Amino acid sequence: MSAGKRELLCSKCCKRVSYHIFKRPAKTIIKDIEIEYEEYYGLCDECQSEIYVPGLDDRNEDVIEEEFRKKKDLITISDIKKILEKYNVEKRPLSKLLGFGELTITRYIDGQFLQLNTQIFYLKYQEMSKR
């Protein structure tokens, strides 16, 4: 048994082949913002053409998202998590307390693009702390 041997279908070779994953600089535009990032991609070991690797797109999206948040000065997921831990609150109540929709923070942590920027977040947060 070839357990652990990773093979995928190459559309050029028309068979299952071994492959390797590489990184290359890439650019994309999201909401008029140019994002530069390191893109992961797979190459067929036999014909050296690009091969579809399951899960790789997700990895690339995570990288793009992190860069996007940095560029837009959006609050990062780890920042929100720190607040949740510090005040020992759940995502939904915090979201409502801050005047967002009940699921806004949940969605943000799940990685959906939302216009929840650092400034708005902290303004609302300060407001809340005064009460």
Residues in the site for Zn ion, rule: CB under 5 A? 10, 12-13, 44, 46-47
Q: Least distance in Å: CB of 40 to Zn ion? A: 18
- Maximum alpha-carbon separation in the chain: 66
Q: Least distance in Å: CB of 38 to Zn ion? A: 24
Name which of 69, 81, 60 is nearest 115 in CA terms: 69
User: Which residue, 43 or 64, is less far from Zn ion as judged by CB?
Assistant: 43
User: Which residue, 25 or 54, is less far from Zn ion as judged by CB?
Assistant: 54
Q: Least distance in Å: CB of 47 to Zn ion? A: 3
What is the distance between the alpha carbons of residues 115 and 37, in angstroms, rounded to a whole number? 21
User: Which residue, 50 or 66, is less far from Zn ion as judged by CB?
Assistant: 50
3 state DSSP class of 5:
coil
What is the distance between the alpha carbons of residues 87 and 95, in angstroms, rounded to a whole number? 13
